[in-house]
Structure 1
Amino acid sequence: MTVLIRPEGQTAEDFRFSRRALGGLTAGAVFTGYAVAALAQEAQPITTDSAGLTTEMVSYPSADGFDLPAYVARPEGEGPFPVVIVVSEIFGLHAYIQDVCRRLAKAGYAAIAPAFFVRVEDPAPLSDMQRIQAIVAAAGYEQVMGDISATLEWASGQLWANTDKVGITGFCWGGKVVWQAAARFAAIDAGVAWYGRLAPSSTATPEQIEAGRPYPVDLAGDLKGVVIGNYGGQDQGIPNDTVAAMQEALAAAGQTESGIKLYDDAPHGFHADYRASYRATEAADGWARLLALFEAKLR
């Protein structure tokens, strides 16, 4: 099994992968199984059916002209439904992220998960962590923000989407994107970040620090909507002192509704039910916090 302990993936010495993979590639070259590089042998992932939902793969032009694929799950019917953008981990648009979209759709939201990495390659079916990390590194800040902008624009043209009410949630790599997007786009009313990096690693090189900008700790004063974080106290990649620094930055910026809950005994990736890092109690509590925030801000 693999235990993913860092928000951008393991180093070579951390990495051992499971060869169990469920599903395969669709005609649109989107992997339909669980990420090969992180799936635990003993995992029993939560599976959410599509009863009462409309689910589909779509595509729309991004800011750079790329035809961006995305998975959409929404309640059946005309709506309009509040929109939630779902930002993946480093493994891309695989079964876990698609299931998160269906969970949100069951709660009454139109969930849209863009495939941020496929300009280079879909990381989901890969087992080579160095290759996965290279793919993720190619998705720079401006590209990702352009993809989110394109998602907002596309959703605004859908009759079933209420883009006056927009939320965002993301995991690991996507957790950092939640803070960045909420600081960039006034259209985003609320966000929930799951263990995304908040500040540079103490071991990062100057080049890595520069490549990772902007960091959430520097964006606290720019948040346009309310953002809450669900973080693990045992996360080896996101030290508790960076969580404390983010809390201080939010307080200094007067962001009284935003903040982070630190689950003392939880590791990185505690919501990812296909990994050995999954912690059911903390995951359920974090999800309840997400639903409460979205109910308050998107209804």
Structure 2
Amino acid sequence: MTTYSAALTEILDREAVPASGIDSGDVDYRADGVDYRGYLARPAGEGRYPGVLVVHDWLGVTDYVRMRCDMLARVGYAAFAADVYGADVRPSPDEAAGVAGGFYQDRPLWRKRLTEAYEYMLAQPSVDAQHTAAIGYGFGGSAVLELARTGAAVDAVVSFHGGLLTGPAGEVERITAKLLVLHGAADPVTPDDALLAFEDDLRTAPSVDWQVVSYANAMHAFTLPDADAPEHGAQFQAVAERRSWAAMKTFLAEVFG
């Protein structure tokens, strides 16, 4: 069992541990010649549970994303943290923008790695492959929207303070997932014009089920307790963190029925 900082533990403990407990731990996997180290958390014991792919922020698989997987397992999901970067790539805060930026510049590679992680999750014995979701934070929020754009058969996608990218004309018609975008209304990383362009792109595909929730005065990284750089537009906001988690829970419960 992972031991977390006090700030992460406070968030985690909002969800009660089920009577049976949870099982969790690092998971090594390999795809197309690349080694990865993710993390899997699920309710303990036998059974299959809706699978939730969790995609990390620009720092890679850290305690933050592990905590979110544990939190999802407490709710009743099998949560798998994808490792987009590779097992040997864990950037420092100073390096993270460069590493993440490489994927923004190579969206085919980004999507390929996300698809590989999603397929790995589907193969896990504890995952009900007929009921799946993908959520992500920051870089990961952008990533899960990229996964949706591939046409992956994921039921629900939730972006927390992610970058909102558009794509070639008509690409959004591939999306079959229901989308929930949880956005900081004061996020300079994804300003109003980027949000409008994203929404206008989705409007070209009337079949896509999507919603955007904007949180007042919330900057980029509003769910991360360690985020405290308002001069760079990133800061934790407890109210938005709590509300966004509740919105995700309600959304997934609705989608999974």
Band the TM-score falls in, shorter-chain normalisation: 0.7 to 0.9
Once the two structures are aligned, what percentage of the paired residues are identical? 25
| Counterpart residue number, 2:239 | 281
1:210-235 Cα shifts (integer Å, max 9, x gaps): xxxx6499743331111110111111
Q: Which has the higher strand share?
A: 2
Give the match's secondary structure for 1:69.
Answer: strand
Pick aligned residue for 1:232 from 178, 184, 198: 184
| Counterpart residue number, 1:165 | 131
1:100 aligns with 2:64: no
RMSD: 2.6
Change (3 A) 1:156 1:256: closer
Q: Which amino acid aligns with 2:85?
A: F
1:117 is displaced (CA, Å) by 1.7
| Counterpart residue number, 1:61 | 30
1:187 is displaced (CA, Å) by 1.8
Change (3 A) 1:215 1:298: same
Change (3 A) 1:255 1:271: farther
1:102 is displaced (CA, Å) by 0.8
Normalising to structure 1: TM-score of the pair?
0.73
**Contact 1:82-1:166 at 8 Å conserved across structures:** yes
Q: Which has the higher helix share?
A: 2
Aligned residues: 242
| Counterpart residue number, 1:242 | 194
- Please show how residues 1-299 of structure 1 align to structure 2 within 5 Å: 44-45=7-8, 46=10, 48=12, 52-62=21-31, 64-118=32-86, 121-123=89-91, 126-127=92-93, 129=94, 131-139=95-103, 140-199=106-165, 215=167, 219-255=171-207, 257-276=209-228, 277-299=235-257
**Structure 1: gaps of 5 or more residues:** 1-25, 27-31, 35-42, 200-213
**Contact 2:83-2:117 at 8 Å conserved across structures:** no
**Contact 2:37-2:87 at 8 Å conserved across structures:** no
**Structure 2: gaps of 5 or more residues:** 229-234
Give the match's secondary structure for 1:181.
Answer: helix
1:193 is displaced (CA, Å) by 0.6
Give the match's secondary structure for 1:44.
Answer: helix
1:247 is displaced (CA, Å) by 2.2
1:118 & 1:104 partners in 2: Cα distance?
A: 23
1:115 is displaced (CA, Å) by 1.9
The 4+ residue runs of structure 1 with deviation greater than 6 A are none
2:211 & 2:170 partners in 1: Cα distance?
A: 15
Structure number with greater CO (CA < 8 Å, separation at least 6) is: 1
**Contact 2:53-2:121 at 8 Å conserved across structures:** no
**Contact 1:53-1:73 at 8 Å conserved across structures:** yes
